[in-house]
Structure 1
Amino acid sequence: MSTAAKTLSFIKLCWKLNLAGAMEFRFSFLITVGTMMINNAVWLFFWWVYFDRFQLVNGWGLNDVMLMWAISAGGFGLLATFFGNVLRLPNLIATGQVDAYLTQPKPVLLNVLASRMHVSAVGDLLFSFLVYFWAGDVSLLGFAKFMLALLISFLIFFGVMLLLGSLAFYLGNTEGLSGMLFDSLVTFTVYPTDIFKGLGKALLFTLIPAGFVSFLPLKLLKASVDVPFLLGALGFAIGISGFAVWFFYRGLGKYTSGNMTGMRM
């Protein structure tokens, strides 16, 4: 079996064990997932009330906002479901818990990130697809564009969170800072980009790259695709993810062991 096949098999096993662990308490699992879906639905209800009175917001309609929420929730849901430890990375680094992963013959980053699942994120992911099938173009092409939008959203969330988490290699425990900055990113991905002007809008495509996520319903999911924007968003997503991986491994060279002993399968 090739190295790539072994790595893929290992990741699939991690995901299987994460799901099995979450499903051990099924009632709690269902309540957590359902609560997250209801939480997201409440926000969309407020938007529905708003659009019931005002039909457009700078060219955005209710369907556009619903798909924006679907893409944002779906991208985050993919990240936290399959690579949930990225949200705990600053704490893992600062407390020396990375030690347990360094002793195993697996890619360190994949091993760290894939070893945990956030149950509530499953609710985000399910909510994303429910909203898409309700408000989106359910044709084969429409679904392919939606999946591409989810991929871009996932890569941007992944890159930003990995960068923020890896700061702990350089600055110590940055859990509070990382959480605050990531919350800012998530917040701005669920508001129509066109309500911001000037410097604020520029920041949403640079320092806080939420604009690439929130703009996707208008630029990718419409009948006429904005190809330059799509290529720019995809290039940015791949670029920030690649840079974040490099930044993590560069920081890993500075990592000081916490002399912790632990065992993982």
Structure 2
Amino acid sequence: MKRLAYYIRLWMGYQRMGLVEMTQYPADTVILVISLVLREAAGFIGVLAIASAVGGLGGWGIYEICLMFSMCALVESLSQTYFDNVWGISYLVHEGRLDVLLVRPAPVFFQVLGDVMHYPALISMAIYAGVMVYALVHLGIGFGVGLLLFLAEYLICGIAINTGIYTIFNCLNFWIVQGEDVAVLVQTCREFAKYPIGAFPGVIRTIFTYVLPFGFVGYYPAAYLTGKTGSWVLAGLPLSAAAVVAVAAVFWRLGSRAYDSTGT
């Protein structure tokens, strides 16, 4: 319990540092908020425009697409707020900054996650939470304990999948110089999760279900809520999250063992 209390206090300390950093440069924060909202809005409008032009996508109507897109955006926003520093692994490794974390009395990966907080991303999260509620109301999906429990499971597992996949590919920086480029490519592929992947060829569905399970970040949970797939999603979410986290843990462990600073 003492150990847990220590980690909680440490995490709260990271939270305070993130808030101080955000308020230290208010103009930068405002610009970041605007850019985040515009980026998500552009993608959202693009999906809606395509769906409107062809009368839906893969059998999904406008409100169903709104639900799926907003669920994807919620996970991305929360991940970006609290766990986005997995993208800093390349900097920590190539600049030798990981040395500082190695000598501190806390798990290194815990420090990596806490070192950067992007609170402006919570603004886009609030916007897409509103879009999700709007879609649920128009789809006639009632709010109740079951829905809230499912959304809690979805957010936890979705964040674990999202962060775990990015961790795996950013850990390539322990072995190759431009490992971040591979991670950026994977992040670009994540855009497929904002579309009904059932409309894509079988190989694409397989990749985003079993290899890069971004399908569980939006498509499958939204399909479950709209009755387009069965209750297997309730078990598929934690199983997929556990598998991704396990692989990410192996990559981090092997990578941190291979780390030998910058040699200078």
Q: TM range, normalised to the smaller chain? A: 0.7 to 0.9
Q: For the residues of structure 2 that align with 1:216 and 1:20, how far apart are their CA atoms?
A: 38
Please tell me the residue identity of whatever aligns with 1:157: N
- The aligned counterpart of 2:154 is 149
Q: Which secondary structure does the structure 2 equivalent of 1:56 belong to? A: coil
Q: Which residue does the alignment assign to 2:29?
A: 29
Q: Partner residue of 1:17?
A: 17
Q: C-alpha displacement at 1:86, in angstroms?
A: 0.6
Is 1:239 equivalent to 2:243 in the alignment? yes
Gaps (5+ residues) in structure 2?
A: none
Which residue is equivalent to 1:189?
A: 193
Superposition TM-score, scaled by structure 1 size: 0.87
Taking a change above 3 Å as real, the CA distance of residues 58 and 196 of structure 1, as seen in their structure-2 partners, is: same
Deviation digits for residues 109-138 of structure 1 (CA, Å, limit 9, x no counterpart): 010111102355334422331222222247
Q: Is the 8 A contact 2:168 2:248 kept in 1?
A: yes
Distance 1:9 1:174 in 2: 33
| Cα offsets for 1:130-171 (capped at 9, x unmatched) | 222222247233333223222222111111111111122233
Q: How many correspondences in the alignment?
A: 259
Higher helix proportion, which one?
Answer: 2
Q: Which moved more, 1:232-241 or 1:221-230?
A: 221-230
CA contact (8 A) 1:156 1:240 kept: yes
Deviation at 1:77, TM superposition (A): 1.5
Q: In structure 2, how many angstroms separate the alpha carbons of the residues matched to 1:227 and 1:98? A: 43
Letter in 2 for 1:181: V
Alignment correspondent of 2:220: 216
Query: Would you say the 8 A contact 1:94–1:173 is kept in 2?
Result: no
Give the root-mean-square deviation of aligned CA atoms: 2.4
Percent identity over paired residues? 22
| Segments of 4+ moved more than 6 angstroms | none
Counterpart for residue 175 of structure 2: 170
Residue number among 191, 204, 208 corresponding to 1:204 in the alignment: 208
Aligned position for 1:114: 114
Contact 1:79 1:154 in 2 (8 A): yes
For 2:111, the aligned partner's letter is N
User: Helix, strand or coil for the counterpart of 1:167?
Assistant: helix
Shift, 1:224, TM fit: 8.5
Q: State the alpha-carbon separation in 1 of the partners of residues 205 and 227 from structure 2.
A: 25
1:82 maps to 2:82: yes
TM-score normalised by L of structure 2: 0.87
